Structure 1
Amino acid sequence: MSQDQAAGLRQWADAQRLKQARTTDDAFVPLDAEPVSAAPRQPEWSPVAQMLEPTRQAPQKPLFIIGVTGHGVQAVSRVKSRLEQWSEIGRSWAGSPDDWDIHLVNAGAPDLARLSAQHTRWALWINSDAQAFSQMYRVLREARENGGPQRLLALHEPHLPRQGLLNNLRDAAAYYLATDLLLLAR
């Protein structure tokens, strides 16, 4: 089929769709409106156009995190660094840090309940300093009081042992707050 025939067929199909839309819709469509194609026109193939076409990435997975100290790019960078460390030790779910759309959320945020209802991927950032248990428990309690998520991934350094901080925090969250804190097996 030649270029002219294909263009003619596209125009005819567009006109038919516009005509059908006028008879089935009560909406006003001006008579001089350009026919609208349902599918965008594909440009002719050329090696230059193919090289210039932006690469399409898979949509990012949203991950909402509570308990992160700091704000902005630096805090998101720390989270992505942690995800990258987990990926390097064989956690295939972590994928590339760029696969994630990271959202830092304050446990006292007024829209926490709405966000919790709309999104399923939540994590608790766990520090590994001497005050970590009391700080993280306080964050979890505040999140629950504000309608936050009932299930969160424990986002921590890969080498942090389960004994002590992680197990105690998981047990306290389950017993006192009815919150599941998911710890990854080593």
Structure 2
Amino acid sequence: MNDPDTRPAVETLDQAAGLRRWAEQNKAHPTATAHEVAPLSPPAPDRTLILFGPTQAAGPAHKTLERWHQQGHQWIGHPARWRMLPVDNNHRDLQTLTRQQPRWGLWIDSDLDAFRRAFQTLRQLSEQGGPDHVLALHAGFPRQGLLNNLREAAHRYLGVRLLLIDEISD
């Protein structure tokens, strides 16, 4: 039988143990509160973004997540939690990968031919049973103009929802 008088003592012991662990981990900052101590290392990646585009786009795509995080987009969390997994749009098991991975992105370059290539990639993904929601990652285009045109064309002609993030312009 559980004696109701012993439960608070057990909870107090658990809290005390947690506080001791916190104090042990933060010996370098003896006067700091729990909110003042920065983590010693960035969090380990626990979110994967399947990224279509050139393999070298993983670095710039990650910088885009960092920029959005700095602009206040809370859904990103700490940018170090994201792992970019570049995938060729001719991936053999695209349908299986689509069922396994919930987060998809498309890197859009800034050269004159970038939007044609992006639409072509979205078309190939659609034809191969790829994702129907894809995040547009880029170096910082304004939302109006070509990105909106690409989003509308992807939706109208391919049934793909291209997700655009509002950028805060300087």
TM-score (norm 1): 0.64
Partner AA of 1:170 in structure 2 = R
The total of aligned residue pairs comes to 137
Match of 2:163? 182
Partner AA of 2:142 in structure 1 = P
Provide the secondary structure at the position in 2 that maps to 1:163.
coil
Partner AA of 1:104 in structure 2 = P
Give 1 or 2 for the bigger CA radius of gyration: 1
Q: 1:165 aligns with which of 140, 146, 155?
A: 146
1:163: how far off?
Answer: 2.2
Percent identical across equivalent pairs? Answer: 41
1:108 aligns with 2:94: no
1:60 aligns with 2:46: yes
1:114: how far off?
Answer: 0.6
Q: Bigger relative contact order, structure 1 or 2, given CA contacts below 8 A and separation 6+?
A: 2
Q: Deviations over 1:26-84 (max 9, x none)?
A: xxxxxxxxxxxxxxxxxxx99xx968xx9894661111111x22x3xx53222211111
- 5+ residue gaps, structure 2, are 1-19, 27-39
1:157: how far off?
Answer: 2.4
Q: 2:138 aligns with which of 144, 149, 156?
A: 156
Match of 2:31? none
CA gap 1:78/1:59 in 2 versus in 1, 3 angstroms: closer
Aligned counterparts of 1:85 and 1:56: Cα–Cα separation in 2: 17
Contact 2:57 2:107 in 1 (8 A): no
- 5+ residue gaps, structure 1, are 1-44
Match of 2:119? 137
CA gap 1:59/1:157 in 2 versus in 1, 3 angstroms: closer
Contact 2:104 2:131 in 1 (8 A): yes
Q: Deviations over 1:76-102 (max 9, x none)?
A: 222211111111121222232211121
RMSD over aligned Cα, in angstroms? Answer: 2.9
Q: How does 1:15-94 map to 2 (within 5 A)?
A: 57=43, 60-66=46-52, 68-69=53-54, 71=55, 74-94=56-76
